[in-house]
Structure 1
């Protein structure tokens, strides 16, 4: 459903910095993929290009065969609202709105009917265990609850692809586990296709596949085959290899 071909991103004119150096990546329907690598490896650059927040220097991004980078600004805005869902480390919720107003915001921007929004909201709020929070303001709920609200907002319009950028970065251990179990459930039961950037091996262990980036290139990938605990151990070993610290132990 997502095809990334020879993706390159260069910043600067006189002094150039090549953040991505020809990335090739295929994501199938209903996959849950983690993107990992050292700081400055190109993880966030890749996510920003997939999110159409930034434009590639060269190469193609195809979502179900369509290249969003060939759209005009108005079409790109519509593409983001309808085809993509976003979950950020900082939640990016609107503090002046209630929980329910935040969740239905993508549908509100698209001019959806109230009855359709109410039905979608009820189903999702019950599904994610946040029905009791709907009338509260963002300042009245915890960080873990806020991230659940952010996931609900990202899923309300049933996007083709959910992009998550360090979704557990601002959460305590229990809230992190809750959010990752929630994403895993959405993937397994709702068949949501999820691409997640994370530096956290425990969060990554909920994924089916991890791709590793170093110096702007995909250098390796591993698949979960024998359960989460074994996958976590595999991730730790692979990170040590990629970051060049295997000889320090």
Structure 2
């Protein structure tokens, strides 16, 4: 579904910094994959390249066999709106719009019919537990509810790939568990393909698979075998080893 081949990203001209050093990664249709690693490891750069927000220095990103970076700017923007869904730490919702208007924003930009948009909202809002919030403004709802709205907006056009960048970063523990449970539910029930960047081992434990990036290289890849608790503990051990913490005790 997603094929990343020898992906490199170099910033700067005279003083060059190699943020990604030739990453290879395959994500199958319906997988829920977490990306973890130390600060500055290249996690967000990697996600931005897949999101077509940034361009790779070399290498390929193929989504269902197609390379979006070969498109012109107008078609890349359309690709982003129709093929990808985005969930951010800061929600990125528009405060002047209602919850419903925020959810259908990608469809509005594509000129979808109002009746179609209304139906899609009726379908998705109950699944995310936000059907009672549709007429409220963003300032009137909680952070956890706002992130649910952001997930609804990301999924309303049924994207090929959902990209989530630290989606629990601004949430308390209960809201974090709610949002991660929701993403897992979308993955299991809707077969949504999800790529999640997180520094939080608990959030990561909701994934099926974790890839670890360090110094711009993919250094470890682990799949969940047992319970979520066992996976959480395995992630903690792997993080300590990759960050070098286990050598200090």
Q: TM-score range by the shorter chain?
A: over 0.9
Indicate the residue corresponding to 2:100 in structure 1. 100
The equivalent residue for 2:211 is 211
Deviation string 1:110-147 (CA, Å, 9 cap, x unpaired) is 11111111111011001110000000000000000000
Aligned to 1:143: 143
Q: Secondary structure at the residue paired with 2:44?
A: helix
For the aligned residue pairs, the C-alpha RMSD in angstroms reads: 0.4
For residues 206-246 of structure 1, what are the alpha-carbon distances to aligned partners after superposition, in whole Å with 9 as ceiling and x for unaligned? Answer: 00000000000000011101010000000000000000010
Stretches of structure 1 that go unaligned for 5 or more consecutive residues are: none
TM-score (norm 1): 1.00
Task: Name 2:23's counterpart in structure 1.
Answer: 23
Matches of residues 209-248 of structure 1 in structure 2 within 5 Å?
209-248=209-248
The answer for the alignment partner of 1:86 in structure 2 is 86
Instruction: Tell me the SS of whatever aligns to 2:4.
Output: strand
Query: Does 2:184 correspond to 1:184?
Result: yes
Distance 1:187 1:216 in 2: 28
Aligned to 1:115: 115
Aligned to 2:161: 161
Matching of residues 31-42 of structure 1 within 5 Å: 31-42=31-42
2: distance between equivalents of 1:53 and 1:226? Answer: 36
In 1, Cα distance between the equivalents of 2:40 and 2:9?
Answer: 13
Distance in 1 separating the partners of 2:180 and 2:240:
23
Distance 2:68 2:39 in 1: 27
Cα distance in 2, alignment partners of residues 227 and 4 from structure 1: 29
| In structure 2, distance between residues paired with 1:221 and 1:65 | 23
Instruction: Report SS of the residue matched to 2:222.
Output: strand
Q: Normalization by structure 2: what TM-score?
A: 1.00
SS at match of 1:162: strand
Give unpaired runs (5+ residues) of structure 2: none
SS at match of 1:219: strand
User: Residues of 1 paired with 2:78 and 2:72: CA distance?
Assistant: 10
